[in-house]
Amino acid sequence: MAEALFGSFGQGVGGISLMELPPEKPKQLRVAAYVRVSSLSDEQEGSFDNQKTHYTQLIRSTPGWKMVDIYTDHGRTGTSMAKRPGFNRMIRHATEKKIDLILCKSVSRFARNVLDAINTIRKLRQLGVRIIFDKENIDTDDMASEFILTMLSATAQEESRSISENITWAKTKRFERGEPIFVKKLGYELNERKEWVVVEEEAQIVREAFNEILNGKTLSQICKQFIRKKYKKTNGRTDWSSPTLKLMLQNSDYTGDVICQKTYVEDHLSHKQQLNTGERTQYFIENHHEPIVSQEVFEAVQRELERRNKPNPNKKTKRYPLSSRIQCGVCGGNLHRFVCRERVTWRCENSRKSKELCKMQGIQETIILKAMQEAFLERYRSIRKVIDIDRMQKDLTRAVAARDFSYNQLRLDLERILLEENVALINANGTEAEKSKEVLEELSRKREAIEKELRVKEEWWELLDQDVAFRKAALIKLREMDAVRNPIKLLHEEMKQTAFLRAWVVRIKAISPMSFCMHWIDGKETIIDFGKGDHDID
């Protein structure tokens, strides 16, 4: 009876053999790579690009692998996780169950701090994320113990410490021989014999700064004077600021004497620069080069600066939801927050230095908030004047997915160009040589355009990554609205808070004090112009 109902062994319902059923499709591994170089030298620049290309091609060409991302830190130290945004974004995505496997060139590229390395690897293993280190041929999934990895991480940290000590030792020997390290400064250049030579055109600017302080002018007044005269700094720009000018006035190198080791690095892990107040030996080299100002003038200026100095021990840098996110549409500088008579105003950093640099006026924060609210309603209010809360939630949850799609599309385009370049190089012989040369030049232009677009978008994506906290907080608020009878009333209350709106608005360009361009998380823009139409901005 059983055989009549279900068929013979090995057959399923309807007499279909279980052996004939299609095999279950294997799960694709979601693979990422981490690439880091610690300096911006040409040699490491090449290594950086080569690693990105290598891992992109490896992941794309391996069956069963699906690319997640190539996480990068360019010119970042490996001894501190706090200063590596690419690394931190990768760990966050791993925590969010978006990664199964991470590829990395070596343990030292991953981290030179033993504690950070081991704790991070343990955390990833608990999440089920493997790491493969190419150079050491280590797969964390196969390790019976952490001993080998601990030793390698310790070796990487020791290597970092050794390099730091070797550099310090080499500098000390130079100082003992009376050979200071030349740092580019206004008024001097290094000649072929490694001598500090006065650049008279620049030296006149230095002398003028010292003289004007003794004539009673403030740092701010001198800066405006220099900007008006279009004096250039060492970087070629004319946007003089009080801190820049003060550092120049405090530089004793202008007297012809050099004090070596005015600062020192606290340790090889933190890389924190400390003012040397006796912790390290200082080396005084007298009459090392031609002075630009006399010792008497220099000391008189130091006394005057000290007299004017009024330190504020209670002053602390505070971050606001719009800090570093409002861009001046006139000069491209950042707008900074100021409070005067209980009124909050955002002012362009260059306009504050001098109207010669930028003529943008200060903008009241209430107007900026009103512009954000107007743009928000314009984006999410339907034809029936109903605010689409569901769309708001979808935009927040899809922000990272849209970013990943855009990234992957650009990487695919780049891979295609690289493949075509390889084919063209193979054909760059014989009768096809001239034609292949033209093709290579065209492909090179396309590749450079894609790489440029990637660099620009990576800056934008980094801003998105920094806004995770705003998006999470906003999603919590939106879920709370789902549980109340009148969500729109609660939404209007939340819209009075800049932090809530910042979840969707990544950057604001202030075209004028009454006109703004809102840049949304999906890359779209909305223009709000209070100079046109009927807007209530009171």
Instruction: Find the CATH number of the domain harbouring 144.
Output: 3.40.50.1390
- Whether 496 and 525 share a structural domain: yes
- Whether 185 and 250 share a structural domain: yes
144 lies in a domain? Answer: yes
Closest CA relative to residue 519, chosen from 371, 390, 386, 383: 371
Q: Is the pLDDT of residue 537 over 70?
A: no
368 lies in a domain? Answer: no
- Whether 260 and 135 share a structural domain: no
What's the chain's Rg over C-alpha atoms? Answer: 30
pLDDT for the residue numbered 340 = 83
- Whether 153 and 239 share a structural domain: no
317 lies in a domain? Answer: no
66 lies in a domain? Answer: yes
167 lies in a domain? Answer: no
- The helix or strand, by DSSP H or E, that contains position 171, with its residue range, turns out to be helix 147-176
Q: What is the mean pLDDT of residues 518-532?
A: 90
CA distance 86 to 458: 10
Question: Which of 103, 134, 161 is the last residue in one of the domains?
Answer: 161
pLDDT for the residue numbered 312 = 62
Query: Which stretch of 63-67, 312-316, 472-476 has the lowest confidence by average pLDDT?
Result: 312-316
Q: Is the pLDDT of residue 348 over 60?
A: yes
pLDDT for the residue numbered 177 = 73
pLDDT for the residue numbered 246 = 92
Using pLDDT thresholds of 50, 70 and 90, give the confidence band for residue 79.
Answer: very low
Tokens representing 114 are 């033993």
Q: What is the mean pLDDT of residues 294-311?
A: 88
Identity of the residue numbered 295: Q
Using pLDDT thresholds of 50, 70 and 90, give the confidence band for residue 405.
Answer: confident
- Whether 191 and 302 share a structural domain: yes
Are 529 and 371 in contact, with CB atoms under 8 Å apart?
Answer: no
Q: In percent, how much of the chain has pLDDT > 70?
A: 76
pLDDT for the residue numbered 208 = 95
334 lies in a domain? Answer: no
pLDDT for the residue numbered 2 = 39
pLDDT for the residue numbered 155 = 60
407 lies in a domain? Answer: yes
- Whether 259 and 286 share a structural domain: yes
- Whether 145 and 194 share a structural domain: no
- Whether 80 and 188 share a structural domain: no
Q: What is the mean pLDDT of residues 383-408?
A: 81
6 lies in a domain? Answer: no
pTM: 0.62
Domain count, the chain: 3
- Whether 402 and 469 share a structural domain: yes
- Whether 482 and 392 share a structural domain: yes
pLDDT for the residue numbered 525 = 93
Q: What is the mean pLDDT of residues 523-537?
A: 75
- Whether 191 and 145 share a structural domain: no
Using pLDDT thresholds of 50, 70 and 90, give the confidence band for residue 122.
Answer: confident
Q: What is the mean pLDDT of residues 126-146?
A: 78
Three-class secondary structure of residue 236 per DSSP: coil
pLDDT for the residue numbered 500 = 96
**Can you give the residue range of the structural domain that contains 459?**
377-413+451-529
CA distance 495 to 516: 18
Q: What is the mean pLDDT of residues 509-534?
A: 89
Query: Which stretch of 71-80, 108-117, 137-146 has the lowest confidence by average pLDDT?
Result: 71-80
Are 517 and 509 in contact, with CB atoms under 8 Å apart?
Answer: yes
Bigger pLDDT: 343 vs 454 = 343
Which DSSP letter does residue 333 get?
P
Q: Is the pLDDT of residue 276 over 70?
A: no
- Whether 69 and 212 share a structural domain: no
Q: Is the pLDDT of residue 368 over 80?
A: yes
Query: Which stretch of 133-137, 373-377, 426-430, 498-502 has the lowest confidence by average pLDDT?
Result: 426-430
